A = this chain, B = another copy of it.
Amino acid sequence: MKAMLSPVVGHLDPDFVKVMDSIKKMLRMVFRTANEITFPVSGTGSAGMETALTNLIEEGDEVVIGVAGVFGQRLADLATRLGARLHRVDAEWGRIVEPERIEQALRAAKAPKLVAIVHAETSTGIHQPIEEISKMAHARGALMVADGVTSLGCVPLEIDAWQIDACYSCTQKGIGAPPGLAPVTFSARAMEAVHKRKTPCRSWYFDLALIEKYWGPERVYHHTAPITMNYALYEALRIVVEEGLEARFQRHRANAAALQAGLGGMGLGLAAQEGFRLPQLTTVTVPSGIDEAKVRAQLLEKFNVEIGAGLGPLKGKVWRIGLMGESCKRENVMLILSALETILESMGFEIARGRSLAAADRAYNGAAA
């Protein structure tokens, strides 16, 4: 927050250029990539999604998209707007998209241009396996696009090792800055597809062929960058690098283990498929007879804690509890568990008092060990 108070200089000021170069360097470390084209798009997370698809898809291109939540739907929606021939692979919300089903869709396509899927589906709490899907995509000559909005900085995301060709994220989740930018990275192969387009990119604001000249050594003016947000991202990345990615992932695992054990101790069930649960976003099944909106309102009013409602088919059925980036700390686990216990008990939900926090504590110590 304090970094944002630095003087607002021009978007081509030599001092800002240094900030840009440091951001690119640190983003490469966090994305685990050597990709030259790695920078923050001047918009929030969805602007990153739009940058990836609007640059890589031309009208008539065949694309395979896995959909098992809001953000998979958004990918499919956007691909349709761009005139793609869509091979959509739907799965039940709260479960992964089975990689074999993506492979079937790839085989059904004539010349698939890309596969796109969400790595951490914020609407369901699912941790989607993507490495093997990337292999399948490449085996069919397609590019691999991964939505890393909720995964970057929370769980391992290996752009180069997994050969992801395009990935986008946001600043306000695993990176711990305010919302405002969408870090993206594109492989040389993806950039080749951008440069080989037969039709111009439909967007000027998100056109990589133009933006790369601003973020690259040429420094050609494109649009005015949100200077202040870049200061915030710079400082947040510095903190991520200082903590270290491995330590950061471990922190997310330990706190999630505590939260999920504590919820279990309270008698609440988890909604996401076992074995594929995200640490940074936990979906909890709302017990029958409980007014879920009232619980969220009380959490906000009485305890200053905001949790998410269910979306789409999960509306009214789940709560979504985020523990990401800076907010992922033990005191927040304790706070949400005790606040939830207090509120649910006041609504007549039977709870064996004390079991939840004890279970959380054991799990935390187990995970930290």
A residues touching B (Cβ–Cβ < 8 Å)?
1-2, 4-5, 8-11, 13-14, 42-47, 49-50, 54, 74, 77-78, 80-82, 170, 172, 178-180, 200-205, 221-229, 232, 300, 306, 311
- Tell me whether B205 and A46 are in contact (CB under 8 A): yes
A4 to B222, CA, bound (A): 26
The distance from the CB of A336 to the nearest CB of chain B, in whole angstroms, is: 15
Residues of B within 8 A of A204 (CB): 46, 49-50, 74, 77-78, 81
In the complex, what's the smallest C-beta–C-beta distance from A329 to chain B, in angstroms? 16
Q: Which chain B residues lie closer than 8 Å to A229 at the CB level?
A: 180, 226, 228-229
Whether A228 pairs with B43 at a CB distance below 8 angstroms is: no
A-B contact sample (17 more), CB < 8 A, given A43-B223, A170-B224, A179-B225: A1-B5, A8-B179, A10-B306, A13-B306, A43-B47, A44-B226, A45-B223, A46-B205, A46-B224, A50-B205, A54-B202, A82-B202, A178-B228, A179-B227, A180-B228, A202-B202, A203-B203
Select which of B5, B45, B202, B223 is within 8 A of A44 by beta carbon. Answer: B223
A205-B42 contact given A11-B179, A229-B226, CB 8 Å threshold: no
Find the B residue at minimum CB distance from A199.
B81
A-B contact pairs, 9 of them (CB 8 A): A10-B306, A13-B306, A46-B204, A47-B205, A49-B204, A50-B203, A81-B204, A180-B180, A226-B229
The answer to whether B42 touches A81, judged by C-beta atoms less than 8 angstroms apart, is no
* A364 CB, nearest partner CB in chain B, Å: 26
The majority secondary structure among interface residues of chain A is loop
CB–CB A9/B306 < 8 A: yes
Q: CA separation between A98 and B178, bound complex, in Å?
A: 45
Within the complex, the shortest CB–CB distance from A304 to chain B, in Å, comes to: 9
Contact of A178 among B43, B74, B222, B226 (CB under 8 A): B226
Give A8's nearest chain B residue, CB to CB: B178
Which chain B residue lies CB-closest to A70? B221
Given contacts A50-B205, A202-B202, A204-B74, contact A225 B80 (CB under 8 A): no
A47 lies within 8 A of B42 (CB):
yes
Taking CB atoms, residues of chain B closer than 8 Å to A9 are: 306
Closest B residue to A83 using CB positions:
B202
With a cutoff of 8 Å between Cβ atoms, the chain B residues found around residue A47 in the complex are 42-43, 205, 223
CA distance A4 to B8 in the complex (A): 13
Q: Which of B14, B81, B172, B225 is within 8 Å of A203, CB to CB?
A: B81
Contacts of A45 in B (CB 8 A): 223-224
Contacts A50-B205, A180-B226 given; indicate if A8 touches B43 (C-beta within 8 A): no
Bound form: Cα–Cα A44–B300 in Å: 32
